[in-house]
Structure 1
Amino acid sequence: MDINDLIARRVRTLRDAQGFSLAALAERSGVSRSNISLIERGQSSATATVLDKLSAALGVTVASLFEDSTPQAEPSPMARAAEQPVWTDPASGYIRRNLSPAAPSPIQLVDVVFPAGKRVAYETAAREADIHQQVWMIDGVMEMTVGDQHWRLETGDCLSMRLDRPIVYKNPTRKPARYVVALATMPFTPTRRNA
């Protein structure tokens, strides 16, 4: 299945499951109704920033938008490399591969190749889901700003964070960086910050 068709089907399935109209999802996400409609019809390749806004409004991770929403009798616990969804951000050129199998799990793994000199900003802060993320550098250097904290990750480094504040990813070097993202969705527990 084409990656844009996969995203289209998943966004529509999640929106329908929550009973959101296009207008309601547009209001919650800050993404225009016409843009959401184009994405749901597979006629637009959304940027990473747009997918982040949609995922936050739908209460899921960005990685969840790449899952096949076709009903399966028993989802496989195996994700063969040839069948893992691969997507390229049209704005920055970063490439993400969803590594996780279709079988239900609170953990999702994503392999990312981030081009030299590029930057992606996820502005979404508040989420209805409690999502934790770890970024493990396989090769290269990435600079990450999480809220108002700045980190420089080099090969072998691992950074842990909650997805409850804006995050900026930047590759300040002249060569691509590669890292694995591990995401875990926990039962939501409001904190003083979210209350």
Structure 2
Amino acid sequence: MRDDGSGGSGGGVDARLARRLVELRTEHGWSLEELARRSGVSRSTLSRAERQEISPTAATLNRLCAVYGRTLSVLLAEAESEPPQVVRADRQTVWRDDASGFTRRSVSPPAAGLRGEITQGTLLPGSDIAYDGPPVPGQEQHIWVLEGELEVTAEGVPHRLSAGDCLRFRLWGRSRFRCLGSAPARYAVVVVLP
């Protein structure tokens, strides 16, 4: 990528990189002025790069990566391709833990530039699964019971949920999922990273 002033095209990796730079700045809640202050890159250059008027130099990208806590390869990988808008049912990863009676379907898997994901869990009657903590402390979770009865314990507080009920919270510590009753419990989990 060169900052040759010739302007960027409307498609391809330059366009995706420009969008990713806008997304990162927005995720941090920074104005162009604030990003310029933090990175040492002029506001004008940042603005032109985000509008695809220029392709940023390696030095500019390196400064932005330092501010965003990424390597250049991670930033470029995030801009390399966009996640598919439609995740077909036959392409969703399904994982089973037969020992615990748990099945997990990745309905909307994590992807660069997206902060949320959706999984579907199914617990057989009597199944009980405990987690020591979330992979990312403070992550937001919404648990919507689709069928059956489920007990979810978050931060030491048990919640009994029936079909149609939704529990939402930010998870900092342990959690536990138990299937209640004689039928499987099927539920959706929406996770939003902080």
Question: Could you state the TM-score of these two structures normalised by the residue count of structure 2?
Answer: 0.54
In structure 1, list runs of 5 or more residues that go unmatched: 1-68, 187-195
Aligned partner of 1:107 among 105, 109, 116: 116
1:98 aligns with 106
Read off the aligned partner of 1:160 and give its amino acid letter.
Answer: R
Counterpart Cα distance in 2 of 1:183 and 1:107? 5
Counterpart Cα distance in 1 of 2:149 and 2:185? 6
Read off the aligned partner of 1:124 and give its amino acid letter.
Answer: G
1:119 aligns with 2:128: yes
Once the two structures are TM-superposed, the CA of residue 72 in structure 1 deviates from its matched residue by: 5.9
SS in 1 for 2:146: strand
Bigger drift between 100-109 and 137-146 goes to 100-109
1:170 aligns with 2:178: yes
Q: How many residues align?
A: 116
1:136 aligns with 2:140: no
CA shift in 2, pair 1:91/1:161, >3 Å: farther
Aligned partner of 1:77 among 62, 85, 91: 85
Larger Cα-atom Rg: 2
Read off the aligned partner of 1:183 and give its amino acid letter.
Answer: V
Q: Is the 8 A contact 1:119 1:168 kept in 2?
A: yes
Read off the aligned partner of 1:106 and give its amino acid letter.
Answer: R
Once the two structures are TM-superposed, the CA of residue 80 in structure 1 deviates from its matched residue by: 0.6
CA shift in 2, pair 1:150/1:139, >3 Å: same
Counterpart Cα distance in 2 of 1:80 and 1:167? 30
Deviations 1:105-132 (A, max 9, x none): 111011111111110000126x655310
1:161 aligns with 169
CA shift in 2, pair 1:105/1:180, >3 Å: same
Counterpart Cα distance in 2 of 1:90 and 1:104? 33
Once the two structures are TM-superposed, the CA of residue 175 in structure 1 deviates from its matched residue by: 1.0
Correspondences of 1:43-62 after superposition (within 5 Å): none
Once the two structures are TM-superposed, the CA of residue 151 in structure 1 deviates from its matched residue by: 0.8
Q: Which runs of 4+ in 1 moved over 4 A?
A: none
CA shift in 2, pair 1:124/1:74, >3 Å: closer
Question: Could you state the TM-score of these two structures normalised by the residue count of structure 1?
Answer: 0.54
Q: Is the 8 A contact 1:77 1:103 kept in 2?
A: no
2:4 aligns with none
Correspondences of 1:31-42 after superposition (within 5 Å): none
